[in-house]
Amino acid sequence: MPKEERNLGDAVRRALEKAPGRKFAEGVDLAIHLQNVDMAKTANRVDEEVVLPHGTGKEPRVAVFAKGEVALRAQKAGTAVISPDEIPRFGKDKKEGRRLVQKYDAFVAESHIMALIGKNLGPILGPRNMMPIPLPPDGNIDNVLTRMKKTVRIRSKDKMAFHVKVGRRSMKPEEVIENTEVVLKRLEGRLERGAQNIKSVYIKTSMGPPVRLL
């Protein structure tokens, strides 16, 4: 195993071991600080979705805008379903629309109703970067939901420092290590100068002390 990979694994294990016991399930995050990146330029800002091999240890709250077979399959998978007939109501009642958005972490919608969603809920979903993932007519909702449950977003906005979730403390160290490796590899691939644009990376549980990875 290369030296840097061995050190990364050691750091992840130290972060998990050093964190005091808590009465709630702690998440595990990376704190990333970039360097020599002009964040004033939109093209330099990081906004990437990454599928973690072991997920985050906590399933996101997902709702599906759909009818018919897609709605039935989503319900069977234990996912909330919102009928397209309800969408105009959320558009008229802004408070109810905002309450709907606050209930979920992400949305999926049959592609043919995306325009209806944009018209009625776009002003609420758009600024939050929560517009639904469109499902084409031949799309498999089960595959989309499975992928979403393992997906995290690396998003810097216009900041040089930001956080990314890579798991939960209840997960095996090896799972957190693999998730971390995937996130860092994706981040390096997104940056113009790769690892040279990364000033530091720390890993920590929600309430635990940080441990430096890079």
Residues 207 and 161 in one domain: yes
Q: What was the pLDDT predicted at 186? A: 97
Residues 115 and 188 in one domain: no
DSSP code of residue 209 = P
- Per residue of the chain (214 residues), give pLDDT as tens: 333 444 899 999 999 998 887 777 899 999 999 999 999 999 999 999 999 999 999 889 999 999 999 999 999 999 999 999 999 999 999 999 999 999 999 999 999 999 999 999 999 999 998 999 999 999 999 999 999 999 999 999 999 999 999 999 999 999 999 999 999 999 999 999 999 999 999 999 998 999 999 8
Residues 68 and 130 in one domain: yes
CA distance 156 to 49: 12
Q: What was the pLDDT predicted at 129? A: 87
Domain residues for the domain of 108 are: 62-148
Task: Report helix angle 3-18 to 173-190, nearest 10.
Answer: 120
Residues 74 and 140 in one domain: yes
Final residue belonging to a domain, choices 148, 166, 197? 148
Question: How many domains does the chain contain in total?
Answer: 2
Q: How far apart are the first and last CA of the chain?
A: 17
Residues 71 and 52 in one domain: no
**Residue 1 domain flag:** no
**Residue 199 domain flag:** yes
Residues 84 and 106 in one domain: yes
Beta carbons within 10 angstroms of residue 95's beta carbon: 8
Q: What was the pLDDT predicted at 138? A: 94
DSSP code of residue 191 = S
Q: What was the pLDDT predicted at 5? A: 45
Final residue belonging to a domain, choices 132, 148, 164? 148
Give how far Cα 14 sits from Cα of 1, 182, 205, Å: 18, 19, 11
